Structure 1
Amino acid sequence: MRDFFGEAYPRVERFALMLADQGVLRGLIGPRELTRLWERHILNSAAVAPFLGQGTIVDVGSGAGLPGLVIAAMLPERRVVLVEPMERRTTWLFEAAEHCGIENVTVVRGRAEEVQDVVEADVITARAVAPIDKLVKWCAPLLADGGEMALLKGQSAPEELERAKYVLRKFGFVGSVESAPTLPDLAPTTVVRLQRTM
């Protein structure tokens, strides 16, 4: 684990400990998630990092900070914007970033479709927020020219991508399903990449 995260490990570990301590109490994760926090949430979030290109990263529907705070801890040289509509969750995101020494984060309260005037992304990521077709409609207006999306998805990603094909065409995206390994004994995470074709 320490080898996987390298220099980021102390920040990521502090975030994981804080989430384990307060996550259930604050309604961020379910009680059953505590025993699999690293495998199911922290490493799953970390898996998207290699697909995040260059420039500003925006995590839409950041919730508990998954994947946004994990990514920000891993990529301290990048600007990471956490977009979250619920006030109690934005409070958590501010507190967690400060507590964990993650200084490259900006928290913006609102839905993706409400923050177009204040947020511009080179890369958008999201985890467990909505189906691909909805995410594209909400998030495409936030993307800078040449921007792309890297979405954390489950096993049904190919079918979800197929169902979204008309929306993807309308907004000028081409999609691919990528396998994102983390630790050798864990199943790879599925990442859907959406790249602009126009």
Structure 2
Amino acid sequence: MSTILRDELSSELSAGCAELKLEVSEQQVEALCDYLELLAKWNKAYNLTAVREPSAMLRKHLLDSLAIAPLLVGERLIDVGTGAGLPGVPLAILYPEREFHLLDSNSKKTRFLFQVKTALGLDNMSVHHARVESFQAAQKFDAVLSRAFASLDDMVSGCRHLLAPKGQFLAMKGIWPEEELAAVAKVCDILSVTAVAVPGLPDQRHLVAMVLRDQPAA
């Protein structure tokens, strides 16, 4: 990535964070750009995302992930089906005081994430290569986060064993997921469905927050 392109992306990223009303330091902007540069580089060989252009990655991946930051809950979160680290990596950079676990069954993607963790020094981020159904954590999570991982019904059935008591499911969706919400209405209380505006993207985005009606035992 050329210095000129990186400077342009850095400026757009800073402007996008300002539009989202996020307080981001120069060091965090640099770390986010480092992640973007690694993603663009590794994507050529590992096919981590169908988005190829760094400028499109910035809007469709980084800013899309950061747009939900004000809606996060809890101190210990797991990003299920994280893929190339979205939204987990940008959020781990933004919130160093929180603990993020990134889970994916694709070994190419988790190898990339280990590289990101090392290169960026993200001590608050852990990477797990496993299927969600078989993954067991020593400590449950305040929030289970997903971005285009599965339907709400599949998310609840596949991830409920990961939730701490009173923990929340946080599902990133495109258009208002009316049918999916109806499918989980018997097992979950829907806390909110919040419209999220992503700088530079006209597409609809929503974050669904849910809790299990029958909470897991402590």
TM-score normalised by the shorter chain: which range applies? Answer: 0.7 to 0.9
Instruction: Confirm whether residue 23 of structure 1 aligns to residue 43 of structure 2.
Output: yes
> What is the RMSD of the two structures over their aligned residues, measured on CA atoms?
2.0
One-letter identity of the residue aligned with 1:127: R
Taking the aligned partners of 1:31 and 1:180, their CA distance within structure 2 comes to 21
Q: Equivalents in 2 of 1:179, 1:48: separation in Å?
A: 10
Matched, 1:83 2:99: no
**Match for residue 51 of structure 1?**
71
Which residue pairs with 1:158 in the alignment?
178
Cα deviation digits, residues 173-195 of structure 1 (max 9, x gap): 32531012343x54463111113
The answer to which of 125-134 and 8-17 deviates more is 8-17
Distance in 2 (CA, whole Å) between partners of 1:24 and 1:157 is: 33
Counterpart amino acid of 1:146?
Answer: K
Partner SS state of residue 74, structure 2: coil
Alpha-carbon offset, residue 161 of structure 1: 1.5
* Equivalences, count: 193
Once the two structures are TM-superposed, the CA of residue 156 in structure 1 deviates from its matched residue by: 4.2
Counterparts of 1:194 and 1:161, CA distance in 2: 10
Cα distance in structure 1, aligned partners of 2:177 and 2:191 = 10
Using the size of structure 1 for normalisation, the TM-score is: 0.88
After superposition, the Cα gap between the structure-2 partners of 1:74 and 1:38, relative to the gap in structure 1 and judged at 3 Å, is same
CA contact (8 A) 1:124 1:148 kept: yes
Give the CA deviation at 1:164. Answer: 3.0
1:143–1:31 Cα change, 3 Å: closer
Indicate how the Cα distance of structure 1 residues 89 and 32 shifts in structure 2: closer, same or farther if over 3 A, else same. closer
Instruction: Write the mapping of 1:102-113 to structure 2, written as runs, cut at 5 A.
Output: 102-113=122-133
- Percent identity over paired residues: 28
Q: Is there any run of 5+ residues in structure 2 with no aligned partner, and where?
A: 1-12
Query: Which consecutive residues of structure 1, in runs of 5 or more, have no partner in the other structure?
Result: none
Deviations 1:106-152 (A, max 9, x none): 11111221113445210111111111100010111100011001111
Determine whether 1:192 maps to 2:212. no
SS in 2 for 1:147: strand
Q: Which residue of 2 aligns with 1:36?
A: 56
Matched, 1:135 2:155: yes
Offset of residue 197 of structure 1: 4.4
1:61-98 deviations in Å (ceiling 9; x for gaps): 11100111111011110010011112221111110121
Q: Residue 174 in 1 paired to residue 193 in 2?
A: no
Q: Using CA pairs below 8 Å that are at least 6 residues apart, which structure has the higher relative contact order?
A: 1
TM normalised by structure 2 equals 0.80
Query: Highest Rg: 1 or 2?
Result: 2
